[in-house]
Amino acid sequence: MTRYFKHAYQVANRGFSGVFRWTLQSLRILVVFSVLFYVAVMVWLVFFAGKVNVQAHSVLVLSLQGPLVEESAGGLRDQVMGQLQGESRESVRLRDLVQVLDLAANDKRIECVLLKLDDFKGGGLVSLREAAAALDRFKVSGKPVVAWSAAYDQRQYYLAAHASEVQMHPFGEVLIEGLGNQRNYYKEALDKLGIEANLIRVGQYKSAGEPFVLNAPSRSALVAEAYVLDALWALYTAGIEGARKLPVGSVAKNIDALPGALQRSQGNAGQLAKDWRWVDRLQTYEALSEVLKKEVGQDDDHKSFRQIGFKDYLRSQSQPVKGDHIAVIVAQGEISDGRAPAGQVGGVSTADLVRQATQDEEVKAIVLRVNSPGGSVLGSELVRDQLRLAREQGKPVVVSMGDVAASGGYWISLASDAVVADPATITGSIGVFAILPTGKGLMGKVGIHTGGYRTTWLAGAYDPRLALDPRVQALVQANVSHVYSEFVAKAARARQLPTAEVQALAQGRIWTGAQAQQRHLVDQLGNFNDAVDVARQLLTQRKPSARAARAPLPIRYLAAPVSALETLAQRWLGQFGGALGETRLQAWVVAAVSALGGGADTNPGAQALAEGAVTAASLRSFGKDFLWLHGVLVQGQPFGAVAHCLCQMAP
């Protein structure tokens, strides 16, 4: 019996050992094949994914997805989270759109441009004007631009109006509303809750904190906003009327006559838009496709007309910039103290980019593209001071103002050789404020009391659970007043204006670029290309003999470095996102690659607070205002001032 069990044990052991060896060998083979597969994919992405064949007689299809921005916000993780949540976080970089149109104008393979705007979320008026100018330059080549959308909102239509032909679905409409800036005001609600905002500011027109201390806009705020919005509306309507060759003032006249005109057209908004010459043709996209098939031929791959997409064409034309160049640094979004991801301005991270450009011998000049409403004073000063050092080391610095360059966005523009603004840029807002919410009344209403021992009065002096200590208020007021004085003094020195004159132009008041130029707050009016030309002129003036015989210096955008793994993962995402239907599995794979490459930390507490505020309020605008207030409070400077302009980007 013992011999039988021993034999059985040996047989079983050999069996289990064989299974284990077989399993181990299978795993080894699986790992080897997995590694080979991913290596093959990476090789394909690096060497072959960017190869695009542009056929002759092709239509360049600009199917614009998302908002028009200077810099795409976030990074790979944001794209992945958007996929996991089923949300589209696509955006269109202005420089990419302009580059594609300028290249296609001289490309004999491109027959025409189809501007498809169904999913376009618009942008600020300056961005729209620069994109429209690129469309106008393309049309000069003699090639047409056809715009189509099921319907047009105000921002979509501004681009469409600059097409050679505007088409729309027969059941569509063109909705041009005008400009407005409606805010919620919370004083009464905060009083009922027992919360006091404690707004401390310098500047009669610095209205960013008013919603928390008033129940209606102040007269100063209304005057300032009306002055700017009326000017922006005039630029918007003039742009449409000029592009469509409509009578001056006809857009506003048609809006006034809309109720009666729509009744007379029996509610047919599409026909009314055609009668007003806002659109040229009413037809479906399928009908347009059939027309294009006859004009340029059929593309079997797309089962439609011969075409190439926006991103494919951009990738096929991209050429790296080598040698001497002008560095372009984008300062877009809110300004914070430390490091910030793409789409925001970090005092440390953006200053690092300026320092990098300053130390690079191949960088001969710097163009700072500003599209920011401001934020942290410290962050703004870190960027401004680094630009000052770049100038001291002999590198020209030119500021190109985009949609908004106000408050902190204007502050960082003060260390430059020249400031170029678009007539529609929102700028100025030289003013400072701080806001210190306290909720002693709220704590009392729910029966919560606060107390404890402190070695000095300053330890925990600002406690939102307690009434604001007058000594804290005095500290903050002194800080705000000091920062405002510094802001005015820096502006006076930079603009070479008397301090009293800058004081009169400051007070937190916003101006359009045209209004600012009239008041010498900016040097000249123009777009981004004009700013680059100014930088080239400054170089020629400083070294005429060295530059006379050379071609104009190219530009190169300077951004924070991205890991190789993240770059490959982003290319994977771009290649397979649509084809795989943005599957959750793909998102997890890219997330894993992103984790290997590292990334910025998030603030779970802040996110939870933000989500709670929006959910409790059930109103988007309410949540937006308080999220912004929370963003101010978590800057880490409890007694700090803020240089921020709550400017709405128009239109």
Q: How far apart are CA 348 and CA 382, in angstroms?
A: 7
Do residues 365 and 396 touch, judged by C-beta distance below 8 A? yes
Active-site residue, from 407, 413, 429, 594: 407
Q: Is the peptide bond before 423 cis (omega within 30 degrees of 0)?
A: no
Active-site residue, from 116, 139, 206, 490: 206
Q: Annotated catalytic, 594?
A: no
Antiparallel, parallel or unpaired: β 345-346 and 307-309:
unpaired
Q: Annotated catalytic, 206?
A: yes
Antiparallel, parallel or unpaired: β 335-336 and 66-69:
unpaired
The pair of structure tokens assigned to 471 is 């000594």
CA angle 600, 602, 605 (to 5 degrees): 165
Burial of 614 (0-12, 13-18, 19+ CB in 10 A): middle
Q: How far apart are CA 441 and CA 460, in angstroms?
A: 19
The pair of structure tokens assigned to 216 is 């209606």
Q: How far apart are CA 572 and CA 587, in angstroms?
A: 10
Do residues 580 and 586 touch, judged by C-beta distance below 8 A? yes
Which helix (H) or strand (E) is 261 found in, with range?
Answer: helix 258-264
The pair of structure tokens assigned to 104 is 């296609």
CA atoms within 13 A on the CB side of 406: 31
CA atoms within 13 A on the CB side of 559: 16
Look-up: residue for tokens 């501004």? 158
Pure H helices in 393-451: 408-411, 440-445
CA nearest neighbour of 65 among 173, 157, 156, 167:
156
Using DSSP, state whether 326 is helix, strand or coil. strand
Return the active site residues: 206, 407
